[in-house]
Chain A
Amino acid sequence: MKDTFRQSMKWFHTWVGLVVGWVLFFMFITGSAGYFYKEITHYMEPERPLINHQLSNSELLDKAQQYMSIHASDVQEWDVFLPSRRDTNLQVGWRHAPKEGESRGKYIKQVLDANTGQQVITRATGGGRSLYRMHYSLHYLETRLSYWIVGFCTMLMLLAVITGVVIHKKIFSDFFTFRAKKGLPGWLDSHNVLSVIALPFHFMITYSGLLFFPFIYMALSVSIQTNEPELNELMDEVYPSSAEVTPANIPAKMQSLSSLYEQTKTIWSDDKLELVEIYAANDINAHIRFSRSVTDITYNPSDEIVFNGVTGERISEPERQYTVSAMIHNGFISLHEGQFSVTIVRWLYFFTGLIGAAMIASGLVLWTTKRKPQQMKKPNGPDFGYRLVEQLNIGTIVGLPIAIASYFYGNRLLPIEMANRAEWEIHLLFISWALLLTYPAYRPKAKAWSEQLHLAAAIFIFMPVLNALTTDKHLGITLSHGDWLYAGFDLTMLAIGLTFAFAGFKFNKSQRNKTSQSKSAKTQRSNIKTTVDNELVLNKENSGAL
């Protein structure tokens, strides 16, 4: 390709990064946000009551059971979501029977007030879940197409990670190098540092990302090796599911959830109950499954306890069987999703995801910084490619966070009774992103960077204030009540805003240094010119005088 292997790889790394860098940045940002999707949803439904620490799970279970017996009596699959560290409200859910032309019925999830046992009506919103879903199913596009696009980008990311290591010759001797100067070495070192300090993560997240849809990507291979019944058998092994419970349509009285819960407490030493799923409710075949929070990357059968809903007897075979290869596969998926994480590990995932996003961003900026001097010298201005990259950089690296903030703003500002409210919150995200991507074409680039950085700072810092103005749950209340999910969100917005403010400040400072440098150069040149002129005049006078 080029003269040496390393040079070819450098070219390859650059192009692979450039082709999909912005999509990958989107995936890293929405993915990082996705690690906190439950907490984000909690914030985006401010109607949820502040938690009552006094009630026990038993009482909550009874209230939920009572509520669903009244309101979901025609449905036979019920779910009860107990308050947990990540989601402090009692919630219930059920799936309606499918309507005409639907393969699955609609799933309804409702927040219950733990004190009254009645529903709390929360605003229609996609919540954190929409952000997390966008991460892999890219909004507006058909799901299958998104999976292919995302898979393509992930494959290129894998190539970028591998080639990045290959071309970073001095990866060990330059391990701690960070020349914090502005200009090319600064950006290159940032890119290197951000890549290297989280290299295991970058590799893991990319490879495990590919493992989410391997049977779509490698469909050819699979279809050659299996026919349809064999394929179904393979799928059942790869994605084990618990046995189907079909109602016998013979009504029977179910045990109370709280009495079954007393049984689980004797089996589990800790009280980390998260979910209760009821199948064939109020039927003779009723099965009730109690699940506690997952603590491992592999399936742990002791995390689930299943009872016969009518007799209260425990059913002791493990719900799902995993083969070795399925365990490996599932292990990678669990590592990617981080569902097992306790709070501090979850924050680590979030930060490392942001480091990944910053790695991509620094690479993109590095590309333009490297080419800037020669591009600026061109007679008709910079090339189309260069201008496009710079515009996309501004609009994505700063523009996407602003767009996500406007998603949150939409959640607070859109009228509650608005039709398709949840969809419109997401439209707002993409509309603002589109605007932020296009307007830099009409502004001098330095100004566009500065404006977007300051806009980002303002919009994030103002978020807690907006919250105080539009809800009854400002920081004073949430902090004093110990609602750390809610307060944490406000505080994180503040922190992000301050980071952008700092970045804007540094950017303006470097711009001022640049102009003052060129200004002082100009002044020097004109000073010299004046001195020379004066001398000439003097000489003339002198010679004239002579």
Chain B
Amino acid sequence: MSSLLDKINFTKPRWQVFSRVLAAVFGGYALATAASLFIAQLLIYIIEKNQAIHISIMLTFLIYAGTAIWVFSVTSARQAWVGLLKFNVILLASTWLLMQFTDVTS
């Protein structure tokens, strides 16, 4: 019984790792998606809409990779989650802002 409790003791390092993995995979995906929306909105000023979406999609893979690396380099898993949340909010807010100036269906 005590060994089971030991296994789900959340202070053990393996839970930190697990938390970071979740952050990198799901939080990172959210961030990559938000980034692609933001980049597409930026690009719409220069090129036409379909190409903007296309290029932003191609770039997000690199952003996703960078995010995953970042998640595993910060000091704690909590920092990773907080950072992801922060960046997601910033990107989404900026995207929404930009969308007010262009006519994009959503």
Give me the interface of A with B, judged by CB distance under 8 Å.
Answer: 1, 5, 8-9, 11-12, 155, 158-159, 162-163, 166, 207, 210-211, 214-215, 217-218, 220-222, 224-227, 230, 233-234, 237-238, 323-326, 328-329
Are the C-beta atoms of B72 and A218 separated by less than 8 Å? no
The answer to whether B68 has its CB under 8 Å from any CB of chain A is: yes
Q: How far is the CA of A479 from the CA of B69 in the complex (A)?
A: 52
Chain A residues whose C-beta falls within 8 Å of the C-beta of B60 in the assembled complex = 218, 221
B23 close to chain A: CB less than 8 A = no
Q: Are A1 and B74 CB-contacts (below 8 A) given A159-B69, A234-B53?
A: yes
| Structural contact, A162 and B65, CB atoms closer than 8 A | yes
Query: Digit string of B65-80 for contact with A (CB within 8 Å is 1, else 0)?
Result: 1001100111100000
Task: Check B50–A158 contact: CB distance below 8 A.
Answer: no
Assembled-state Cα–Cα distance A1/B65 (Å): 17
Chain B interfacial residues counted at CB < 8 A: 30
* Contact A163–B69 (Cβ < 8 Å): yes
Of A1, A211, A217, A224, which is within 8 A of B73 by CB?
A1
Segment of B1-9, B33-41, B82-90 engaged in the interface with chain A:
B33-41
B11: min CB distance to chain A, Å: 16
Sample 22 A-B pairs with CB under 8 A, ordered by A number: A1-B20, A1-B72, A11-B72, A159-B68, A218-B32, A221-B32, A221-B36, A221-B37, A221-B56, A221-B57, A221-B60, A222-B57, A224-B106, A225-B53, A233-B50, A234-B50, A237-B54, A323-B50, A323-B51, A325-B50, A325-B58, A329-B54
Q: Which residues of B contact A226 (CB under 8 A)?
A: 53, 105
A329 touches B51 (CB 8 A): no
B97 to chain A minimum Cβ distance, whole angstroms, is: 16
B22 in contact (CB, < 8 A):
no
Binding site for A on B (CB under 8 A): 20, 29, 32-33, 36-37, 40, 47, 50-51, 53-58, 60-62, 64-65, 68-69, 72-75, 104-106
User: A5-B73, A9-B73, A225-B40 are known contacts. Are A326 and B54 too (CB-CB below 8 A)?
Assistant: yes
Set of chain B residues within 8 Å of A166, measured between Cβ atoms: 69
Q: What number of A-B contacts does a CB cutoff of 8 Å give? A: 90
Chain A residues closer than 8 Å to B104, beta-carbon distance: 225
A284 to B50, CA, bound (A): 36
By beta carbon, the residue of chain B nearest A215 is B57
Determine the chain B residues whose CB is within 8 A of the CB of A158 once the complex forms: 61, 65
Q: How far is the CB of A239 from chain B (nearest CB, A)?
A: 11
Judged by DSSP, the binding face of A is helix
A218 to B40, alpha carbons, bound, how many Å?
A: 13
Once bound together, how far apart are the Cα atoms of A163 and B32, in whole Å?
19
Residues of chain A within 8 A (CB-CB) of B57 are: 214-215, 218, 221-222
Q: Please, how many angstroms separate the alpha-carbon atoms of A511 and B75 in the complex?
A: 44
In this complex, which of B36, B40, B61, B104 has the most chain A Cβ atoms within 10 angstroms of its Cβ?
A: B61
What residues on A are CB-neighbors of B69 within 8 Å?
Answer: 9, 12, 159, 162-163, 166
Chain B residues within an 8 Å CB radius of A9: 69, 72-73
Whole-angstrom CA separation of A5 from B56 in the bound complex:
29
Contacts of A210 in B (CB 8 A): 61
Q: Which residues of B contact A155 (CB under 8 A)?
A: 61, 64-65
Look across to chain B and name the residue whose beta carbon is closest to the beta carbon of A235: B50
Known contacts A8-B72, A325-B55; is-contact A230 B105 (Cβ 8 Å): yes
Do B53 and A224 touch across chains, with their CB atoms under 8 A apart?
Answer: no
Using Cβ atoms and an 8 Å threshold, which residues of chain A touch B32?
Answer: 218, 221
User: Shortest Cβ distance from A336 into chain B, in angstroms?
Assistant: 13
Task: Choose among A226, A233, A325 the residue with the greatest number of B CB atoms under 10 Å from its CB.
Answer: A325
Chain B residues within 8 Å of A162, by CB: 65, 69
